[in-house]
Amino acid sequence: MQKSDLLKKLQEIVGDEHVSASAAELYCYSCDASQIRGMPDFVIRPVSTEQISKIVSLANENEIPVTARGAGTGLAGGAVPVEGGIVLDMSSMNRILETDLDNLQVTIEPGIVQEKLNQALEPYGLFFPPDPGSSAMCTLGGLIANNGSGMRSVKYGTTRNYVLGLEVVLADGTVINTGSKASKSVAGYSLTDLFVGSEGTLGIITKATLRLRALPKERSVLLASFEDPELAGQAVVKVLSSGIVPSACEILDRNIIEAINTFDPKIGLPKAGAILMFEVDGTENTVREGIEMIKDACSTLATSIRAASDKKERDEIWAARRLVGAAVSRLDPLRTRVYVGEDIGVPIKELPGMLHKVREISEEFKLPIMTYGHIGDGNLHTGMCIDVLSDAEWEKLNKAADKIHRTAIGIGGTVTAEHGVGSARAAYLDLELGKALDVMILIKNALDPKGILNPGKMGV
Amino acid sequence: MQKSDLLKKLQEIVGDEHVSASAAELYCYSCDASQIRGMPDFVIRPVSTEQISKIVSLANENEIPVTARGAGTGLAGGAVPVEGGIVLDMSSMNRILETDLDNLQVTIEPGIVQEKLNQALEPYGLFFPPDPGSSAMCTLGGLIANNGSGMRSVKYGTTRNYVLGLEVVLADGTVINTGSKASKSVAGYSLTDLFVGSEGTLGIITKATLRLRALPKERSVLLASFEDPELAGQAVVKVLSSGIVPSACEILDRNIIEAINTFDPKIGLPKAGAILMFEVDGTENTVREGIEMIKDACSTLATSIRAASDKKERDEIWAARRLVGAAVSRLDPLRTRVYVGEDIGVPIKELPGMLHKVREISEEFKLPIMTYGHIGDGNLHTGMCIDVLSDAEWEKLNKAADKIHRTAIGIGGTVTAEHGVGSARAAYLDLELGKALDVMILIKNALDPKGILNPGKMGV
């Protein structure tokens, strides 16, 4: 079909104002927060499942790629149309369809922003726990498609744990419903779990029923300093095996501490080989008790321990954590933080060794690497900044990232704990998954035989 | 291939003593704890993944059904070879391969019994939380294949939440590994979640890495009586939305209370329209606080509330709960408890209405139905006893069960919350899942094109 005929058909489906093929607009949809780029042929802003079903069906008949996009905050190119075709901008489908307080559930459209959902739930004392760094911008559809998580997953788990059911448009336009409103069901394969984290390669998520939790009454934080990351790692194992489940358990390495203190000297993080930041939430008693237990567990390993005395101090400590991204990016005005090799996950006991290895890689390639992350989950973010105009720097960065990825896989870890595979990490799935990748491909081919759904992603 | 040639080949793979085609032995493998029956042609007790790979490969070449079996405690015929062929008795593969304390993980073979695993973990202060009623007998392989759960899933979730990775033999004999030892990974489709709950229809689970939890230091229980189940249901919603997460939340209806009191008058459960049994676990303070919060939440709805004053009373209350099965079975020596239509799950707010409907169905068919279950999960077990020698009674039971299933589906629920689909409930998946069943079939055909893996199950 001619491009102009296709445009006409798409306009018939969604209306002229909701589809665009203008270069300026297409350009806006050619990237996400990663370094991956790809120009779409059309951008469409659908408002209903029915429209999406018609669009996907048309695309399937004409073998045109379809890539769904939420807020474009992804760090792996997941929403970038690397093979062109149609981008479905889901941000217009952003309604809360049902807030079912008695069942502690909410049914939403995928375009709603995480923070907006939680603002709407707050008056009811409820919340949707997964909270990535991008929660002020990212959409639930993106979170679900990537199985996003963030700082509190050590206690609350990932997005997967909160998706009860989905409405999905398949590659041929068929609309299916997965899961159940019952909180437990074993009726059939867990298709919900298959679509969660499939990054739009198996279907377009058009609706989701989510499980909610009651907002904790209290929160408190504790900051523990260590001589080196290995001791911090030991403390994490001790805390987690003591039965207390912190609502956050973060690590900052020496480089990150220095970066934050340089960025804003008022913060005055203790100089240390590593800092652990723990948060405990729950009732007043639970929190007090949890903080004491963590203090005890860390006491023989830490050089200093400081519990926030009040809400103000607690907020200051988290503000420091939230500054990591900015502090890393602003270290050197000539260098840009590039999200490559930045999301490894390793078994918790391998963390100290992995941190050591990252330092070695940093020295080998003469590339400063700053490490922080959700240590309670074994998830390390390695921050690298380069002069993005220099090919030599890119080469260095890619080589260092490659070594980081291969090291993580070698010790039983993963190249991506929460940011997704997309195009950025697709080449590593063969190494990480082995023959399981063949099973992914079998499933992909069965559900999307023409390969129109987000092609060029996840190695399928 | 002739049956005798096949036997010879199977003997070559596992040794003469580990394969049998004797009628007496085959008969033992023709049933599970449900009413489903099916005679195998061979029973094999493999001891390694390699053997299983060879057996499945041979079966695939010759299009012979292969059904994996753990302890045969299933309630839906999942382990029954309804189309004959090979039964793989996995109980010889029962080793704990690695107890990884630092990572709070254990790697096991599928034949290990749930209780034995937890006994081995107890000295380390760790446990594997999912605890079905059959935990003293059921194997981990069965639990994983069925995504089993039980009484404590209201706090701890189902088996799915504890499976980090699997080793699986596919239909053609290929061995794959899914998941990661890292506690969070988004590298690829969640094949682990696809195999969990697939009841042996997509592959044979030969190894699993499980996430563990620290054993709670304390537990306490509380018993609240209500005039009717509707008020009990309201109390459950109030408790769960108050932020406290009980480690168990069970309901017994009037019939079950009477059955238990008749079975053992010493137990003396309060006469009531419904009783809720709550358990809270954690530290001493958490437990005390949780029990108080539950008391508060129930205070305006319950007719009486009794918290266990000590461990002895707590154990007595749980002993009463554990007696349900026996009490129901022994109500009438001429009648047998049949597990049909016994595992519905509904959204929590639909529970009171569903309980009312069950009572109506009981009256309509003049069939006593006793209801109990994991109300915190919306999971109701409806106990029906019939004279199994009477065709008329079977017909009545099947009609009542059919109505129970259709009612549950009609209010957004499921025909099986934890017991599995197997053959018993396969006919309902079309109604419950709609077009999602077609997706299951696509996946089944892609992974097992000859349909040799546990045929006749799950509607695929």
Between CA A213 and CA B243 the distance in angstroms is 7
Between CA A433 and CA A458 the distance in angstroms is 11
Q: Does A300 touch chain B (CB under 8 A)?
A: no
What residue ranges define each of the domains in chain B, with the CATH number in brackets?
Answer: 3-91 (3.30.43.10), 93-214 (3.30.465.10), 218-327 (3.30.70.2190), 332-433 (3.30.70.2740)
Q: Residue A30 carries which DSSP code? A: S
Q: Which of A114-118, B289-293, B348-352 has the lowest mean pLDDT?
A: B348-352
pLDDT of residue B229: 83
Percentage of chain B beyond pLDDT 90 is 80
Q: Partners of A265 in the beta sheet?
A: none
Residue A206 has pLDDT above 80, yes or no: yes
Q: Partners of A40 in the beta sheet?
A: none
Among A182, A185, A377, the residue with its CB nearest the CB of B183 is A377
Q: What is the pLDDT of residues B124-180, one digit of tens each?
A: 999 999 999 899 999 999 999 999 999 999 999 999 999 999 999 999 999 999 999
pLDDT of residue A46: 98
Smallest Cα distance from B442 to chain A, Å: 6
Between CA A338 and CA B364 the distance in angstroms is 68
Q: Does B160 touch chain A (CB under 8 A)?
A: yes
Strand order in the sheet with A175-179: A96-100, A105-108, A204-211, A163-169, A175-179
Report CB contact under 8 Å: A432, B181: no
Between CA A135 and CA A114 the distance in angstroms is 5
Q: What tokens does B365 get?
A: 């068919």
Beta strands at A66-69 and A86-89: parallel, antiparallel or unpaired:
parallel
Mean pLDDT value of segment B349-358: 88
What does A340-405 look like in DSSP terms, one character per residue?
A: SS---B--GGGHHHHHHHHHHHHHHTT--EEEEEEGGGTEEEEEEEE-TT-HHHHHHHHHHHHHHH
Q: Which of A164-173, A321-330, B106-115, B254-263 has the lowest mean pLDDT?
A: A321-330
Band (A327; pLDDT cuts 50, 70, 90):
confident
First to last CA, chain B: 26
Report CB contact under 8 Å: A193, B420: no
Report CB contact under 8 Å: A435, B174: yes
Mean pLDDT value of segment A287-316: 92
Closest residue of chain A to B149, computed from CA coordinates: A184
Residue A221 has pLDDT above 90, yes or no: yes
Between CA B78 and CA B198 the distance in angstroms is 10
Report CB contact under 8 Å: B417, A185: yes
Closest residue of chain B to A286, computed from CA coordinates: B286
Mean pLDDT value of segment B226-231: 88
Among A194, A241, A433, the residue with its CB nearest the CB of B101 is A241
Residue A396 has pLDDT above 90, yes or no: yes
Closest residue of chain B to A445, computed from CA coordinates: B446
Among A153, A188, A193, the residue with its CB nearest the CB of B184 is A153
Beta strands at B379-386 and B126-127: parallel, antiparallel or unpaired:
unpaired
Smallest Cα distance from A4 to chain B, Å: 34
Report CB contact under 8 Å: B191, A436: yes
Q: Does A137 touch chain B (CB under 8 A)?
A: no
Smallest Cα distance from A180 to chain B, Å: 6
Residue B138 burial (CB count, 10 A)? 25
Residue B56 has pLDDT above 90, yes or no: yes
Q: Which residues in chain A (337-366) have CB-CB distances under 8 A to chain B?
A: 345-349
Q: What tokens does A125 get?
A: 């004392």
Report CB contact under 8 Å: A102, B346: no
The H or E element spanning position A110 is: none
Report CB contact under 8 Å: A188, B147: no
Residue B324 has pLDDT above 90, yes or no: no
CA B171 to chain CA centroid, nearest Å:
25
Note every long-range contact of B12-21, with CB atoms under 8 Å and residues 24 or more positions apart, other chains counting: B13/B51, B13/B54, B13/B55, B13/B58, B14/B44, B14/B45, B14/B46, B14/B47, B14/B51, B14/B55, B18/B44, B18/B45, B18/B46, B18/B47, B18/B92, B19/B43, B19/B44, B19/B45, B20/B44
Smallest Cα distance from B16 to chain A, Å: 32
Among B194, B417, B440, the residue with its CB nearest the CB of A184 is B417
**Cβ contacts of residue B167 below 8 Å, gap of 6+?**
B49, B175, B176, B177, B205, B206, B207, B208
Q: What tokens does B272 get?
A: 């009531």
Report CB contact under 8 Å: A194, B197: no
Band (A31; pLDDT cuts 50, 70, 90):
very high
Mean pLDDT of chain B, nearest integer: 94
Residue B459 has pLDDT above 80, yes or no: yes
pLDDT of residue A267: 85
Residue B346 has pLDDT above 80, yes or no: yes
Q: Partners of B200 in the beta sheet?
A: none
pLDDT of residue B409: 97
Q: Please indicate whether residue A289 or residue B416 has the higher confidence score (pLDDT).
A: B416
Mean pLDDT value of segment B264-274: 89
Q: Which residues in chain A (196-215) have CB-CB distances under 8 A to chain B?
A: 196-198, 202, 214-215
Q: Please indicate whether residue B285 or residue A128 has the higher confidence score (pLDDT).
A: A128
The H or E element spanning position A234 is: helix A229-241
Angle between helices B49-61 and B3-14 (to 10 degrees): 160
Mean pLDDT value of segment A381-394: 93
pLDDT of residue B87: 98
Band (B212; pLDDT cuts 50, 70, 90):
very high
Q: Which residues in chain A (90-119) have CB-CB distances under 8 A to chain B?
A: 100-105
Smallest Cα distance from A72 to chain B, Å: 18
Give which of B97, B149, B162, B185 to mutate to test A binding, by max A Cβ within 10 Å. Answer: B185
- Whole-angstrom CA distances from B343 to B35, B160, B413 are 15, 18, 11
Residue A330 has pLDDT above 80, yes or no: no
Among B161, B197, B408, the residue with its CB nearest the CB of A189 is B197
First to last CA, chain A: 26
Q: Does B419 touch chain A (CB under 8 A)?
A: yes
Chains A & B: contacts with CB separation below 8 Å: 288
pLDDT of residue A329: 78
Report CB contact under 8 Å: B345, A126: no
What is residue B375's three-state secondary structure?
A: helix
Q: What is the pLDDT of residues A223-269, one digit of tens each?
A: 999 998 888 988 998 898 777 889 999 999 888 999 899 888 888 89
Q: Is the alpha carbon torsion for A332, A336, A337, A338 positive or negative?
A: negative
Band (B329; pLDDT cuts 50, 70, 90):
confident
Report CB contact under 8 Å: A347, B100: yes
- Which residues in chain A are contacts of B410 at CB distance < 8 A? none
Among B188, B241, B446, the residue with its CB nearest the CB of A421 is B188
Side-chain half-sphere CA neighbours of B373 within 13 A: 29
pLDDT of residue A324: 87
pLDDT of residue A188: 98
Beta strands at A274-282 and A248-253: parallel, antiparallel or unpaired:
antiparallel
Q: What tokens does B172 get?
A: 């053609």
pLDDT of residue B380: 93
- Whole-angstrom CA distances from A236 to A181, A345, A376, A380, B104 are 36, 15, 7, 14, 11
Contact B199, B148 (CB under 8 A): no
- Which residues in chain A are contacts of B282 at CB distance < 8 A? 243, 286
Among A186, A190, A202, the residue with its CB nearest the CB of B193 is A190
pLDDT of residue A120: 98
Q: Which residue has the tokens 């419950």?
A: B432
Between CA A304 and CA A225 the distance in angstroms is 5
Beta strands at B86-89 and B66-69: parallel, antiparallel or unpaired:
parallel
Q: Is B297 left (phi over 0), alpha (psi -120 to 50) or beta?
A: alpha
pLDDT of residue B17: 95
Q: What is the dihedral of CA A67, A68, A69, A73, to 10 degrees?
A: -80
Strand order in the sheet with B163-169: B96-100, B105-108, B204-211, B163-169, B175-179
Between CA B55 and CA B192 the distance in angstroms is 23
Query: Which stretches within B323-447 are classed as H helix?
Result: 324-329, 351-364, 391-410, 429-433, 436-447
Mean pLDDT value of segment A69-97: 98
- Which residues in chain B are contacts of A419 at CB distance < 8 A? 186
Band (B333; pLDDT cuts 50, 70, 90):
confident
Mean pLDDT value of segment B283-301: 93
Closest residue of chain A to B346, computed from CA coordinates: A182
Percentage of chain B beyond pLDDT 70 is 100
What is residue A48's three-state secondary structure?
A: coil
Identify each DSSP E strand in A10-162 by its residue range: 19-20, 42-44, 66-69, 86-89, 96-100, 105-108, 126-127
- Which residues in chain A are contacts of B101 at CB distance < 8 A? 241
Between CA B152 and CA B377 the distance in angstroms is 10
Residue B50 has pLDDT above 90, yes or no: yes
Q: Which residues in chain A (236-295) have CB-CB distances under 8 A to chain B?
A: 237, 240-243, 282-283, 285-286, 289, 293
Contact B68, B201 (CB under 8 A): no
Band (A318; pLDDT cuts 50, 70, 90):
confident
Contact B103, A352 (CB under 8 A): no
Contact A215, A126 (CB under 8 A): yes
Among A174, A194, A346, the residue with its CB nearest the CB of B193 is A194
Q: Does A409 touch chain B (CB under 8 A)?
A: no
- Which residues in chain A are contacts of B98 at CB distance < 8 A? none
- Whole-angstrom CA distances from B381 to A25, A303, B73, B256, B416 are 56, 54, 16, 11, 10
pLDDT of residue B330: 77
Q: Does B437 touch chain A (CB under 8 A)?
A: yes
Smallest Cα distance from B298 to chain A, Å: 15
Q: Partners of B226 in the beta sheet?
A: B274
Report CB contact under 8 Å: B378, A182: yes
